[in-house]
């Protein structure tokens, strides 16, 4: 166990919704809900202004509308979230070589590895000043996103601490005070205590961390099993010596697409996966890499994200192999409700010496027989998406229906802008996407 508060946990506040408010000035300070906007959609996240009305992640959009009908309901813009995530992770990696991303908006940073010129000692006062400056820099590099930070002697304490003063807060837990902090908290703060375990503990009268602490190891093991029981016993005493593990660079190469119309045609999906497999394999070859694990990612109409992978005995950089495996993985998934994102990735990368010993190249480009490519499909102006108009410039879809699309013309750099309506087939209006979207996502462990 460390004796300094040197594990930092950073988590962006209302991440997707904050990116939307940053890029849509008229929504700043207002309730915003991001998620599936259709009939069976699910909330991905809500701005703090919407949370006041009880809107929460994973709630049905229908329920969210009944709680907060005046919120802006937006479908996601993943290119913008990935870009913001990339900015934050790049900043964190510049302050310490030990950065462990947990998701797009969350990471541990080991401050014991920070530059001593910037952080001369690991005392509470020094790490507090340092973290306040780091939070300011997050806002600078992202164009105004706020992060909540917790610092403690372990990952567990740092993560608990980052929740304590959310949003836009900082909590440093001084070494030695961990157990007093945890005792009154619900048992569910302990990682791994989900609803089922919590219910089992509750029936035994164990509600708080103090209750766990007061329960003997044997009784805990009897209640929740050996491994889990031992974990509870330690964590309730703030014993956690898991190290911060830096992610290896370039863990995977991937390609994905988000589609404006939910895809339902199986052949079209296979065609798109084949094309993405080609992009991935081309990038692998360009960098002299090959990988053993092929993964597909599928986000359903309701924001549920599924992935399936398969591992080969030997690394590959072949379009044909990656494409065949990707298509096979798709057959395992029920996509009948429609798909809004498809992606292919190759991981388990090895440097690959391309010496073509057998003179074989397997990379005959596969004929692309797309029944209907998305670019030729009817454009759907889902709420929140970026658009550009020949005369009015950049804006976002405020709403659409009955052949009309309504756009608010504003961007992160403008004041709140005007609203105009157009026919959906107006040639002067089109969806806008960045030229060089960030395609790498940090891979969760």
CA–centroid distance for 182 within its chain: 28
Interatomic CA distance for residues 382 and 338, integer angstroms: 15
CA distance 274 to 322: 8
In the list ligand TTP, Mg ion, none, the entry touching 166 (Cβ below 5 to 8 angstroms by class) is ligand TTP
Q: Evaluate the omega torsion of the peptide bond into residue 167 and state whether it is cis, within 30 degrees of 0.
A: yes
Q: CB of residue 336 vs ligand TTP: minimum separation in angstroms? A: 22
Site for ligand TTP in 49-68 (CB under 6 A): 57-58
Q: Is 166 in the site for ligand TTP (CB under 6 A)?
A: yes
- Does 13 interact with ligand TTP (rule: CB under 6 A)? yes
Binding span for ligand TTP by CB under 6 A among 7-15, 116-124, 327-335, 360-368 = 7-15
The encoded tokens of residue 187 equal: 């048992």
Q: Quick check: 108 binds ligand TTP (CB under 6 A)?
A: no
Residue 181 contact partner, candidates Mg ion, ligand TTP, none, CB within 5 to 8 A by sort of partner: none
CB of 348 to ligand TTP, least distance (A): 26
- Residue 349 is classified by DSSP as E
- Of residues 77 through 116, those in contact with Mg ion by CB under 5 A are 105
- Please return the burial class of 281, using the count of CB atoms within 10 Å of its CB with bins 0-12, 13-18 and 19+: buried
CB 149 within 8 A of CB 9: yes
Strands 170-172 and 72-74: unpaired
**Site for ligand TTP contains 374 (CB under 6 A):** no
Per DSSP, the three-state class of 207 is coil
User: Which of the choices Mg ion, ligand TTP, none does residue 167 contact, using the CB cut-off of 5 to 8 A by kind?
Assistant: ligand TTP
Among 25, 38, 144, 167, the residue binding ligand TTP under the rule CB under 6 A is 167
Q: Is 25 exposed, middle or buried (CB count within 10 Å of its CB: 0-12, 13-18, 19+)?
A: middle
Which of Mg ion, ligand TTP, none lies near 49, with the C-beta cut-off 5 to 8 A by kind? none
The footprint of Mg ion on residues 12-31 (CB under 5 A) is 12, 15
Q: What is the CA radius of gyration of the chain?
A: 24
Catalytic residue ranges: 106
Residues that bind Mg ion (CB under 5 A): 11-12, 15, 105
| Residues in contact with ligand TTP by the rule CB under 6 A | 11-16, 44-45, 57-58, 105-106, 166-167, 303
């Amino acid at each position: 166990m460390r004796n300094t508060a040197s594990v930092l946990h950073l988590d962006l506040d209302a991440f997707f919704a904050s990116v939307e408010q940053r890029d849509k000035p008229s929504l700043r300070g207002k309730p915003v809900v991001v998620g599936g906007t259709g009939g069976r959609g699910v909330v991905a996240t809500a701005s703090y202004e919407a949370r006041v009305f009880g809107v929460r992640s994973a709630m049905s959009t229908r329920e969210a509308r009944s709680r907060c009908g005046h919120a802006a309901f937006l479908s996601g813009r993943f290119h913008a979230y990935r870009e913001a995530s990339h900015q934050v992770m790049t900043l964190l990696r510049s302050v310490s070589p030990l950065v462990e991303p947990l998701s797009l908006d969350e990471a541990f940073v080991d401050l014991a590895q920070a530059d001593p010129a910037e952080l001369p000692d690991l005392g509470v006062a020094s790490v507090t000043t340092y973290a306040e400056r780091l939070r300011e820099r997050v806002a600078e590099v992202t164009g105004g996103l706020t992060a909540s930070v917790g610092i403690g002697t372990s990952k567990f304490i740092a993560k608990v601490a980052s929740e304590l003063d959310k949003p836009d807060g900082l909590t440093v837990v001084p070494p030695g005070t961990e157990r007093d902090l945890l005792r009154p908290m619900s048992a569910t703060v302990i990682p791994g205590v989900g609803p089922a375990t919590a219910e089992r503990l509750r029936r035994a009268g164990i509600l708080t961390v103090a209750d766990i602490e007061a329960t003997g190891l044997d009784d805990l093991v009897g209640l929740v099993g050996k491994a889990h029981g031992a974990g509870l016993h330690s964590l309730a005493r703030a014993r956690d010596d898991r190290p911060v593990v830096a992610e290896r660079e370039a863990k995977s190469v991937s390609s994905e697409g988000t589609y404006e119309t939910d895809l339902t045609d199986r052949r079209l999906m296979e065609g798109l996966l084949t094309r993405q497999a080609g992009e991935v394999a081309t990038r692998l070859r360009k960098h002299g890499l090959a990988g053993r694990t092929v993964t597909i990612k599928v986000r359903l109409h309701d924001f549920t994200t599924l992935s399936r992978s398969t591992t080969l005995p030997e690394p590959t950089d072949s379009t044909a192999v990656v494409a065949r495996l990707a298509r096979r993985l798709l057959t395992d998934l029920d996509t009948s409700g429609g798909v809004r994102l498809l992606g292919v990735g190759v991981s388990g990368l090895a440097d690959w010496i391309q010496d073509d010993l057998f003179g074989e190249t397997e990379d005959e480009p596969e004929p692309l027989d797309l029944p209907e490519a998305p670019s030729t499909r009817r454009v759907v102006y889902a709420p929140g998406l970026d658009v550009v108009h020949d005369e009015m410039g950049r804006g976002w879809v405020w709403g659409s229906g009955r052949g009309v699309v309504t756009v608010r013309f504003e961007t992160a750099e403008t004041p709140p802008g005007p609203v105009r309506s157009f026919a959906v087939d107006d040639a002067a209006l089109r969806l806008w996407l960045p030229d060089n979207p960030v395609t790498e996502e940090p891979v969760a462990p």
